[in-house]
C-alpha cells in the first residue's frame, strides 16, 4: 500500500527526513561534548634575564622547586619560556617582544630587564625577582602600593654598598685604594657609582671607578686598576658583569686582590667574599608572587617585598690562593665559610 502525506511527502521521504534530523542533532551534541572535553589553556611564564643560563641556573631551579611545592607540574600544568640576553642589553627589547608574542601570562625579570618588559607590555603582569631600587627608579609607585602591572622583590642594593665596603675594610684595614667594577645604564643609571662613592668617602677609601658598558671594556678597566695600584676590588650587580664572572675572578686571583662580590655565586666559583641577599630565598618567594597572580590577584594589589635573609660568604680556599688571612673577628661573622 502506498501512503502519501497530505503535504505531498511519501512515508519513505518523511522517515528519511526524521533520520537526518536526528543524526544532525546527535552530531551537534557530540561536537559540543568534544569542545567541553578540550583541556584548558596551560599558563605560561616568561623569564627575561640579562646574563647567561649558567649564571642563573641555581636561582631558576629554586623558583621551579617552589612551583613544584605549590602544586605545579612543568610541561603539564605550567609552561616556562626562557630568554637570556647573555650580557647584551641591546637584545632585551627583542626578547621581551618575543615573550609578548607568545602571550605569556607572567614575565619574571631582574633589575634593568624589567624596563624592557614594561615597554613591551603595559598589561602582562611582571614579577621582579630582584631589583635594586624599584621605587627610586620609577618601576613601582611605592612598596606598599606598587600600582600598574609590576610587583616583586627589592634587593635594597643602595643600602648594601656601604655594608660591602665596611666588611672589606674590616677584613683588610690597610686597604686604601679600592677598584669598583660597575655597569651603568638600565634603570639604575649611575646610582651604583654614586652610592659607592659616598660609602668609600665615609670609610676613607680612594675609589677607582671601573666602568664597563660592553665586553670590550673589561680589558681596559682591569688595566686601569693595575695602573692606579688598586689594593682590593668590589663589584656591583649587572648582567654584563655576571656574564663575565670567570674573567673577573681570574683578574682578582692573578693580581692577588682581595675582592668583595655582590652575589655568593662568585664565591662558589672561586671568589674570596660576598655579601648580599640570599638569592635562593628570594627566587622561591618570586614563585609565590607568580602563583598569586595566576590565581587572579593583580600585581598592583601585591606589595613589593624586601629581602629577609642576607648572606656573608667567605672562601678560605681563595684566601690561601691569593695569600691573605681573614681576621677571626670577621670570619666569625660569616654565614658560610668555604674551607
For the chain, the structural domain boundaries read 44-155+279-301, 157-278+310-338
Q: What percent of the chain has pLDDT over 70?
A: 86
pLDDT over threshold 90, residue 100: yes
What does the pLDDT look like over 255-275, one tens digit per residue? 999 999 998 999 999 999 999
Q: What percent of the chain has pLDDT over 90?
A: 68
Nearest to 162 by CA among 216, 125, 209, 199: 199
pLDDT over threshold 80, residue 30: no
pLDDT over threshold 50, residue 1: no
What does the pLDDT look like over 292-332, one tens digit per residue? 999 999 999 999 998 888 999 999 999 999 999 999 999 99
Other CB atoms within a 10 A radius of the CB of residue 185 amount to 13
Q: Give mean pLDDT, residues 59-73.
A: 97
Q: What average pLDDT does the structure give for the chain?
A: 88
CATH superfamily of 44-155+279-301: Response regulator (3.40.50.2300)
pLDDT at 207: 97
111 DSSP assignment? T
Using DSSP's 3-state secondary structure scheme, residue 78 falls into strand
CATH class of 157-278+310-338: alpha beta
**Most distant CA pair in the chain: distance in Å?**
121
User: What cell numbers appear for 51 in the block?
Assistant: 646574563
Hey, which residues does 206 pair with through a beta bridge?
Answer: 177
Answer for the pair 87, 51: CB distance below 8 angstroms, yes or no. Answer: yes
pLDDT over threshold 90, residue 132: no
Q: Give mean pLDDT, residues 142-153.
A: 94
Indicate the range of 133-137, 173-177, 256-260 predicted with least confidence.
133-137
pLDDT over threshold 70, residue 5: no
Q: What whole-number distance in Å separates Cα of residue 159 and Cα of residue 162?
A: 6
Q: Do domains 44-155+279-301 and 157-278+310-338 have the same CATH topology?
A: yes
Answer for the pair 243, 309: CB distance below 8 angstroms, yes or no. Answer: no
pLDDT over threshold 90, residue 27: no
* Backbone dihedral region for residue 269 (phi beyond 0: left; psi -120 to 50: alpha; all else: beta): alpha
110 DSSP assignment? E
Amino acid at each position: 500500500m502506498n501512503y502519501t502525506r497530505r503535504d505531498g511527502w511519501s512515508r519513505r521521504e518523511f522517515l528519511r527526513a526524521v533520520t537526518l534530523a536526528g543524526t544532525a542533532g546527535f552530531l551537534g551534541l557530540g561536537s559540543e561534548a568534544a569542545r567541553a572535553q578540550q583541556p584548558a589553556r596551560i599558563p605560561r611564564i616568561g623569564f627575561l634575564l640579562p646574563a647567561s643560563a649558567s649564571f642563573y641556573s641555581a636561582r631558576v631551579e629554586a623558583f621551579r622547586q617552589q612551583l613544584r611545592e605549590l602544586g605545579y607540574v612543568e610541561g603539564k600544568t605550567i609552561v616556562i619560556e626562557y630568554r637570556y640576553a647573555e650580557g647584551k642589553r641591546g637584545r632585551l627589547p627583542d626578547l621581551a617582544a618575543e615573550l609578548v608574542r607568545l602571550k605569556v601570562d607572567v614575565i619574571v625579570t631582574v633589575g634593568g630587564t624589567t624596563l624592557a618588559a614594561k615597554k613591551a607590555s603595559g598589561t602582562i603582569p611582571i614579577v621582579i625577582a630582584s631589583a635594586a631600587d624599584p621605587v627610586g627608579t620609577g618601576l613601582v609607585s611605592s612598596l606598599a602600593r606598587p600600582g600598574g602591572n609590576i610587583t616583586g622583590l627589592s634587593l635594597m642594593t643602595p643600602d648594601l654598598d656601604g655594608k660591602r665596603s665596611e666588611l672589606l675594610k674590616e677584613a683588610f684595614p690597610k686597604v686604601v685604594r679600592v677598584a669598583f667594577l660597575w655597569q651603568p645604564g638600565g634603570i639604575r643609571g649611575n646610582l651604583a657609582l654614586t652610592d659607592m662613592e659616598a660609602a668609600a668617602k665615609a670609610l676613607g677609601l680612594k675609589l677607582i671607578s671601573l666602568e664597563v658598558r660592553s665586553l670590550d671594556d673589561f680589558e681596559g678597566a682591569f688595566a686601569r686598576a693595575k695602573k692606579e695600584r688598586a689594593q682590593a676590588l668590589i663589584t656591583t650587580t649587572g648582567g654584563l658583569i655576571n656574564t663575565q664572572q670567570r674573567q673577573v675572578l681570574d683578574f682578582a686571583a692573578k693580581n692577588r686582590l682581595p675582592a668583595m662580590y655582590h652575589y655568593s655565586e662568585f664565591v662558589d666559583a672561586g671568589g674570596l667574599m660576598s655579601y648580599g641577599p640570599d638569592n635562593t630565598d628570594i627566587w622561591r618567594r618570586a614563585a609565590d608572587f607568580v602563583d598569586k597572580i595566576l590565581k587572579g590577584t593583580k600585581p598592583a594589589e601585591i606589595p613589593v617585598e624586601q629581602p629577609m635573609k642576607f648572606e656573608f660568604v667567605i672562601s678560605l680556599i681563595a684566601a690561601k690562593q691569593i695569600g691573605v688571612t681573614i681576621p677571626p673577628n670577621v670570619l666569625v661573622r660569616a654565614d658560610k665559610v668555604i674551607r
